[in-house]
Amino acid sequence: MAQLMYFQIPMTRFSASLSFLFICLLPFITGNSRLKAQSDSASLQDTFAYEDIFSLNFEEDVTVQLLPLDTIVDIAFRHSPTLRFHEGEVGAARAQVILAKRSWHPYISTFASSSYGSQNIALNTYNPATGSNQTQATNGYTIGATIVLPLSVFTQTPVKIDMMRQELKKFEARVDEAKLRLRREIISEYFKLVTAQRLLKIISEDVQTATLTLNIAEVQFQNGTLPPSEFSRIKNLQTIARTNYELQFREFATAYFQFEALVGVEMFEIKRANHP
Q: What is the pLDDT of residue 145?
A: 67
Q: What is the pLDDT of residue 199?
A: 94
Neighbours of 78 (CB within 10 A): 11
Phi-psi region of 142 (alpha: psi -120 to 50; beta: other; left: phi over 0): beta
Query: Domain extents for the chain?
Result: 37-80+175-274, 106-147
Helix, strand, or coil here: 19? helix
Sign of CA dihedral 96, 101, 106, 112: negative
Question: Smallest Cα–Cα separation from 190: which of 259, 248, 247, 140?
Answer: 259
Buried b / exposed e over 22-57, threshold 16 CB at 10 Å, is: eeeeeeeebeebeeebeebbeebeeeeeebeebbbe
Q: At a CB cut-off of 8 Å and minimum separation 6, what does 52 contact? A: none
Q: What is the pLDDT of residue 112?
A: 65
231 contacts 26 by C-beta, under 8 angstroms: no
Residue 34 is which amino acid? Answer: R
Q: Can you tell me the distance from the alpha carbon of 185 to that of 259, in angstroms, rounded to the nearest whole number?
A: 9
| CA max distance for the chain | 187
Q: What is the pLDDT along the chain (276 residues), one digit of tens a residue?
A: 333 333 333 434 433 343 333 334 444 344 444 444 444 444 444 444 555 578 888 888 999 999 999 999 999 999 999 999 988 989 988 988 888 888 767 777 776 666 555 555 545 555 565 555 555 545 556 666 677 667 776 777 787 888 888 888 999 999 999 999 999 999 999 999 999 999 999 999 999 999 999 999 999 999 989 899 999 999 999 999 999 999 999 999 999 999 999 999 998 899 888 776
Neighbours of 82 (CB within 10 A): 13
Q: Can you tell me the distance from the alpha carbon of 50 to that of 143, in angstroms, rounded to the nearest whole number?
A: 82
Q: Can you tell me the distance from the alpha carbon of 77 to that of 84, in angstroms, rounded to the nearest whole number?
A: 9
100 contacts 235 by C-beta, under 8 angstroms: no
Q: Can you tell me the distance from the alpha carbon of 37 to that of 43, in angstroms, rounded to the nearest whole number?
A: 10
* Residue 142 φ then ψ, to 5°: -120, 125
Neighbours of 241 (CB within 10 A): 21
Q: Write down the CATH superfamily of domain 37-80+175-274.
A: Outer membrane efflux proteins (OEP) (1.20.1600.10)
175 contacts 92 by C-beta, under 8 angstroms: no
